[in-house]
Structure 1
């Protein structure tokens, strides 16, 4: 028979409550958003991309004060900065100086810095609004297709295939050639911007639609959807109150990756001459004009760097968001 243990005067006499120091404190839960923010803060590269994106947005919003402070009106000619014999900017590296931070354009002498800053709001505006159009259409049709399945899924799926096979660039070039100077109460740059938003946004929704459809196929088999159905919830309630909130993370991540794609497409259309009409400054239009002066590569460098930095920053930030919202990430 085993002798009883002598616990008198030892640590075993202590009550369990006294051993668990701080056990009385309430345990605080962390939401998915907070967990994602903690992960995102650890990703210095993604945070750097996010800071650059924020600076670009602020530059686009406050483009007029920035131009007034550091540059000249983007459509103003400065013939005194042009050599009358060569029609090239005076000085070195395209006339870069304290007054003209990135120099001036050949022949007309327009301020390159001011035109890049002024072109930022057009590129970002088209990129953001076209992405919103794509997300709204793609999310709506993707959720409906994934949730209902059957013939609804088949119809929407074939519609996605048609749009993905559509020659978007050819259509944009053809539409830009036949669009009138005034339509739908719009004219000039406003009409062109609306046209680009429609073309880019309306024809790029199938990409996000397929992602949302795949996520919805998984979510519709989850327990909370079955519970809502057992309680008599209607399809609309389940879609917008149960399924859609669980899709916000992948939608947000894909939207940040879709914005730079739309910005590149707008720049390509402007480069081909079917985007915003000159002399309104756009990054793609500046590249198109700079191609003529192949002996002066810096006029291609500056707008090219603006596009490169913008696309890279959005991609880095989007990749960081994707990793932050990934439940399998450590």
Structure 2
């Protein structure tokens, strides 16, 4: 009859040969041009959101109707908007809502999906049923329509309101992925050995389940950052997201839709929005390839 010590010896926890971790994963990512390129673009966008004065000294709220809709020039690279405001400054300052929404959605969504996924996967029965059925209900709702209905209940819609709604309807996908991984890990020998040795559930979840289950969710979260940026812009474009006097790319594109002859009003915010979404998607795709042993070459 084997002892718990022998059980632990027969199968230890996964090593770096199974899935790269820490410095090894970072070194692998830094060797990929897609990761470096997307990382540089994201750093620039984040710097624009945090320190817009590094990129422009113009005040985005200093407007003169005499310059309304004037096109780009050497002095004003992006021209002026319909109110005669410097459009370059407006596009620079428009990065802040997108970055705030994406960062808050990714961080809060990761914590919620990770916590509920671990609980559902490790505690079958009532806990699993409650979390999974709640996720099924949210999955049944049409995403963008449900967001519009919920946002209609708020008289004032801010960055945090939009982030809350996106997380509220978006956590089930990450939860299901985390739950499926936990269901696989909880039956491993090292987890069973920890139970035999008297380890408590919180200890097992923290020391064994979480480290060996989090990689797929981390990859999905990185990919979903770009989705959050696009969702915020789409909601704002539809008139149900951010509202003036907030400056955002979604609002700029929505206004530009009514002035089709002034193409610069649409091109510049759309270009920055597209670069931001593509960069986050490229980085998420690269992180997924690096963390998933099946995709590593």
Normalised by the length of structure 2, the TM-score is 0.88
Structure 2 gaps, min length 5: 1-15
Deviation at 1:150, TM superposition (A): 2.9
Decide whether the 8 Å contact of 2:49 with 2:95 is kept in 1: yes
What pairs with 1:1-330 in structure 2 (closer than 5 Å)? 32-68=21-57, 72-82=58-68, 88-89=69-70, 94=71, 96-106=72-82, 108-181=83-156, 192-328=158-294, 329-330=296-297
Deviation at 1:179, TM superposition (A): 2.1
Partner SS for 1:314:
helix
What is the distance in 2 between the residues matched to 1:192 and 1:168?
A: 19
Decide whether the 8 Å contact of 1:75 with 1:279 is kept in 2: no
Deviation at 1:39, TM superposition (A): 2.2
Deviation at 1:235, TM superposition (A): 0.7
Decide whether the 8 Å contact of 1:133 with 1:202 is kept in 2: no
What whole-Å deviation, never above 9, does each CA across 1:69-121 have from its counterpart, x for those lacking one?
xxx21122133424xxxxx41xxxx1x12321211113x11111111111111
Decide whether the 8 Å contact of 2:150 with 2:165 is kept in 1: no
The Cα RMSD (Å) is 1.9
Deviation at 1:148, TM superposition (A): 1.6
Deviation at 1:265, TM superposition (A): 0.8
Decide whether the 8 Å contact of 1:116 with 1:303 is kept in 2: yes
What is the distance in 2 between the residues matched to 1:139 and 1:49?
A: 26
What whole-Å deviation, never above 9, does each CA across 1:161-213 have from its counterpart, x for those lacking one?
111112343333334334235xxxxxxxxx62221111011210001001101
The match for 2:9 is none
Deviation at 1:152, TM superposition (A): 2.6
Deviation at 1:46, TM superposition (A): 2.1
Decide whether the 8 Å contact of 2:81 with 2:265 is kept in 1: yes
Deviation at 1:327, TM superposition (A): 1.9
What whole-Å deviation, never above 9, does each CA across 1:255-293 have from its counterpart, x for those lacking one?
111111111111011101121111321111100000011
What whole-Å deviation, never above 9, does each CA across 1:44-66 have from its counterpart, x for those lacking one?
11221112112211121111343
Deviation at 1:36, TM superposition (A): 1.6
- Which protein has the larger Cα radius of gyration, Structure 1 or Structure 2? 1
